[in-house]
Amino acid sequence: MSKGRFGKYGGQYVPEIVMPVLTELEAAYEKYKDDPEFLAELRKYYVEYAGRPTLLYYAENLTKHYGKAKIYLKREDLLHTGAHKINNALGQVLLAKRMGKKRIIAETGAGQHGVATATVAALFGMECKVFMGAVDIERQKLNVFKMKLLGTEVVPVTTGTSTLKDATSEAIRYWAAHIEDTHYIIGSAVGPHPYPTMVRDFQSVIGKEIRQQIKEEAGGRLDYLIACVGGGSNAIGTFHEFANDSDVKKFGVEAAGRGPAVGDNAQTLSNPASRPGVLHGAYSYLAQDDDGQVIEVYSISAGLDYPGVGPEHAMFHEEGIVKYVGINDQEALDAFQLLSREEGIIPAVESSHALAYLEKLMPNTNKDEVVVVTLSGRGDKDVQQVAKALGEEI
Amino acid sequence: MSRLQDKFSELKAANKKGLVIYLTAGMPDMEGTIKAVKMAEEAGANIIELGIPFSDPMADGPIIQAASYQAIKKGMTLPKVLELVREIRKFSQIPILGMGYINNMLNYGFDKLTVDAKEAGMDGFIIPDVPHEESGEMKKACQEQGLHLVEFVTPGTTDARIGETCTTADGFIYCVSVNGVTGVRKIDYGPINNVIEHVKKQTDTPCAVGFGIGSPEAAVEAAAKADAVIVGSAVVKLIMEDKFTEAADLIGAIRQALDKKVK
């Protein structure tokens, strides 16, 4: 079995051309991941630029609304650029700088990872190209403009279904042709080794802070963790720290879209129809048809509609470490509105999936228990789409 | 000796370079693919690389991506690729390697696939998203059926890695001419020729150069140190446009150039 496995999942299913650069990346990551100077620099940017640590906020009104366990929100939405994506982008750009790379590339679906990458590229004066499906460019004009403003070239991808999976393939193709001077910042805990490990490590700051803050601010008790899962980077960042805490029940919330039919949702782990396969370099769970062709998945949330999922989640799923569940579009929209009204916090539609799971979980909790929901991003980017879904013209 | 090994021995004895032609299965349709194989063999192809269409072909450039996408839309599947091979075997003994991505094969099941492929008359597989490290299980399944699993070297493959690849190399070694994806362009063959020289010191397995070769001139250059050249996108483009005569002319011209200029 090859390197970078989580149980039987993971690996390096990439063209031979990419192998030398993955080996180079792995060596660089091994060298710097525990290097005090690297970690100090990363910490500096986390604190001074991104705004870490993020708050662990006691949602008193939401707690009263359910009348059960205490609900805390891990406020990744307060980070610079509005989501957890910056944690990973900063880590990888600092690594790319040390590797002497001149150019950064990334794929993006909703544009959040694209904006985070364009942001760090601007900060460090690196050339940046972001690959984005032509369909997504049309759907996410605001983020496309933001990226351009930040000095990034947005490259439209018109192959296949012209969405995130095709943008990812195109980024890999571009990388294969420019391995000498280019670093590819994958946006989620997916892809070939060492990406799932590296992205997980950069996002693990979420779980580590939760542990610390629960101890200092919430009396130390933690019973439930909830995070949304697309590729799964905010979720793995939340769960990894607690992987061995069996008394902390962990829920990964996938997008159940508009129904259980193939292509109507983006559930890879919580859908009994999905099975393991290889996409973008890793063996994990995958939405595919009977012939093994990857299918286009659907969610109201552009950040969750990826047909694959990080390989560590596949292992957590099989070992029962995390329970993966589905929340549909309507449930997410309800949660989006509920948090806005109760707490004055407009959540990202992605994070609204995690919040929506409270409806199902809370009735079974007790008043002395504690729930933490990772609020992975803020909802400014989604208001237009939500207004449309609610039948309002803005 | 396998059909593929026999072919390389035959070429070597005749002091000729091999010509491998890639065709996407299902393009322009089932019948058209059969016609294309016939055409390619008559025009001078020695080996057929039959593309198994995948939804996300990460190692392929725009032409083969488009061909794969259209073939899938028209209903091409891995079982149908095997059907095609059965049909081709009714009139030809040309070696056929299935070129596809690992997910379709995982989905079919390696053991069942290799048994069915052998029965259909396929000679082996080329899987661009399976580097040496990940090839173990499929290699084992192929070996049990006497099928080849082709491995890759590139201009960036280190000497140590060439050594590892050569220990299990089988059928031929796919020498990727350039960093990037499939598709016709001007290429400096110097770097891959250096790699081939290293490979030749360590194994007798034939070397075939592919990626970017679209003309007789390019084929001659690419064949300098290799035993064969692989031509894909240039032919697929013509087949997609239903230009079979032009495709035959291109293959014929490459064949002639190889026979004339390369010794």
Residue B78 at interface with chain A, using a CB cutoff of 8 Å: yes
A376 is catalytic: yes
Q: Is the pLDDT of residue B263 over 80?
A: no
Q: How far is CA A19 from CA A15, A192, B130, in A?
A: 7, 10, 10
Tokens for B13, please give them.
Answer: 């004895």
| pLDDT value, residue B232 | 96
Taking only the tens place, the pLDDT of each residue in B140-191 is: 999 999 999 999 999 999 888 999 888 888 899 999 999 888 888 888 999 9
- Tell me how far apart the alpha carbons of residues B216 and B19 are, in angstroms, rounded to a whole number: 11
| pLDDT value, residue A3 | 86
Nearest to B128 among A1, A15, A295 (CB): A15
Overall pTM > 0.90: yes
- Tell me how far apart the alpha carbons of residues B48 and B30 are, in angstroms, rounded to a whole number: 16
- Tell me how far apart the alpha carbons of residues A353 and A233 are, in angstroms, rounded to a whole number: 15
Taking only the tens place, the pLDDT of each residue in B199-253 is: 999 999 999 999 999 999 999 999 999 999 999 999 999 999 999 999 999 999 9
Three-class SS of residue B243? coil
DSSP bridge partners of A182: A103
| Contact: A291, B107; criterion CB under 8 Å | yes
* Percent residues over pLDDT 90 in chain B: 90
Which of chain A's residues have a Cβ under 8 Å away from the Cβ of B105? 292
Preceding amide of A156 cis, omega within 30: no
Nearest-Å Rg of the Cα atoms of chain A is 19
| Contact: A159, B65; criterion CB under 8 Å | yes
Q: Which helix (H) or strand (E) holds A290?
A: none
Strands A70-75 and A103-108 come out as: unpaired
Q: Per DSSP, which regions of A180-281 are E strands?
A: 182-184, 224-228, 249-257, 275-279
| pLDDT value, residue B121 | 98
Catalytic residue among A188, A270, A301, A376: A376
| pLDDT value, residue A282 | 97
Closest CA to B227 of B258, B249, B257, B198: B258
Q: Which amino acid is at B223?
A: A
Provide the ipTM.
0.96
Which of chain A's residues have a Cβ under 8 Å away from the Cβ of B72? 293
If you ran DSSP here, which 8-state letter would residue A324 be given? E
Three-class SS of residue A10? strand
Taking only the tens place, the pLDDT of each residue in A129-144 is: 999 999 889 888 899 9
What are the 10-residue block averages of pLDDT along chain A, 394 residues in total?
Answer: 89 95 96 98 98 98 98 98 97 98 95 96 98 90 95 94 90 92 96 98 98 93 98 98 98 97 94 92 96 94 92 98 98 98 97 98 97 97 92 88
Tokens for A37, please give them.
Answer: 């100077």
- Tell me how far apart the alpha carbons of residues A38 and A44 are, in angstroms, rounded to a whole number: 10
| pLDDT value, residue B1 | 85
Cβ under 8 Å to B: A residues 153-192: 159-160, 165-166, 169, 172-173, 176-179
- Please give the residue of chain A at the shortest CA–CA distance from B152: A16
Q: How far is CA A49 from CA A112, A125, B204, in A?
A: 17, 15, 57
pLDDT bin (cut points 50, 70, 90) of residue B261 is confident
Cβ under 8 Å to A: B residues 116-175: 128-134, 136, 151-154, 156-158, 161
Q: How far is CA A265 from CA A26, A258, A315, in A?
A: 34, 6, 21
| Contact: B58, A173; criterion CB under 8 Å | yes
Q: Which amino acid is at B160?
A: A
If you ran DSSP here, which 8-state letter would residue B141 be given? H
- Tell me how far apart the alpha carbons of residues A61 and A303 are, in angstroms, rounded to a whole number: 27
Work out how many CB contacts closer than 8 A connect A with B: 119
A315 neighbors A276 (Cβ within 8 angstroms): no
- Please give the residue of chain B at the shortest CA–CA distance from A171: B58
Nearest to A288 among B103, B134, B151 (CB): B103
B182 neighbors B61 (Cβ within 8 angstroms): yes
Q: Is the pLDDT of residue B262 over 90?
A: no
| Contact: B56, A1; criterion CB under 8 Å | no
Which of chain A's residues have a Cβ under 8 Å away from the Cβ of B136? 1
Instruction: State the catalytic residues of B.
Output: 49, 60
Taking only the tens place, the pLDDT of each residue in B23-72 is: 999 999 999 999 999 999 999 999 999 999 999 999 999 999 999 999 99
